[in-house]
Amino acid sequence: MLATPAYDIALILDQGRRDSQEDAIASRVFDAAGSGYVVVADGMGGHEAGEVASEMVIAAWRDSLDSELEKDNPVEATLVDTLPLAAIQANASIATHNEEQGDGFNMGSTLLGVLLLDQRVFWISIGDSPLYLFRNGDLQQINEDHSMAPMIDAQAAQGILTEAEAQVHPDRNQLTSVVMGAAIPQVDCPEEPLILTAEDILILGSDGLQYLSNAEIQTILSNKSQALAQDIADSLFKALQVKNDPDQDNLSIAVVKLKRT
């Protein structure tokens, strides 16, 4: 039987400066099971494609997890297995939709989902949607970035590119793994969970959140470390609004904390 912690979760979804909203985000807490989840999907393929793909990812996640988490005595091993199964289901749904459209139609989406079991956090990540842990005043991205950005940053560290060149490199946001109805080259789904403490803050986002630098996010979280999840999410969103970047991408933000008892 799982323990019953309480989670403080806040979500924000914003279109940014784009013509359509291709992000999708959802969360749910299951009090009887002492568990919950958050899932973020960042679609691609343009209007009426990317938004369809991201919603398919969210739907597949809910279909896979809700039925298990609604059981009276959910089995942890089965719950953890639902993460890759949700990705497989989402991939199959997108493959069917792409095939039905014909003429080389292509759409896809990132998938970032966390399963909360007591103080343990299991996750699956495909694409470049970041998962951050703020702990002891330090911010770290704890999931893999399935884009060209890490390789380009490595070139900057080696002196092949300057820092400025790396940040504006045209291939920086090119994904190396995505849910798009074909083989998925990279999946980040660790077997061992992250153990949350009462002082930790977990942040999920689409890459629209990364219009703030890690240093900027860390400063906000340092100033708001004792605040409620909604206050933290609002502060991150306001910081992006102040930037007023004309290219601001669709934005998803989820803030997760353990409630203090």
Per-residue pLDDT at 260: 67
Longest dimension (CA), the chain: 56
Mean predicted confidence (pLDDT) in 186-203: 97
Mean predicted confidence (pLDDT) in 214-227: 97
pLDDT at 209 over 60: yes
Question: Taken in order 9, 75, 189, 62, is the CA torsion positive or negative?
Answer: negative
End-to-end Cα, the chain, rounded Å: 20
158 or 86, higher pLDDT: 86
Per-residue pLDDT at 1: 38
pLDDT at 105 over 60: yes
To the nearest whole percent, how much of the chain has pLDDT over 90? 79
Which of 89-93, 116-120, 158-162, 191-195 is predicted with the least confidence, judged by mean pLDDT? 158-162
pLDDT at 236 over 80: yes
Per-residue pLDDT at 261: 58
Beta strand residue intervals within the chain, DSSP E: 7-14, 23-30, 35-44, 108-109, 111-117, 120-126, 131-135, 138-141, 194-195, 201-205, 251-258
DSSP single-letter state for residue 216: H
Phi (first) and psi of residue 17, to 5 degrees = -105, 20
pLDDT in tens, 131-177: 999 999 999 999 999 999 888 988 988 889 888 888 888 888 889 99
* Cα(121)–Cα(193) distance, integer angstroms: 5
To the nearest whole percent, how much of the chain has pLDDT over 70? 97
Mean pLDDT of all residues in the chain? 93
pLDDT at 2 over 70: no
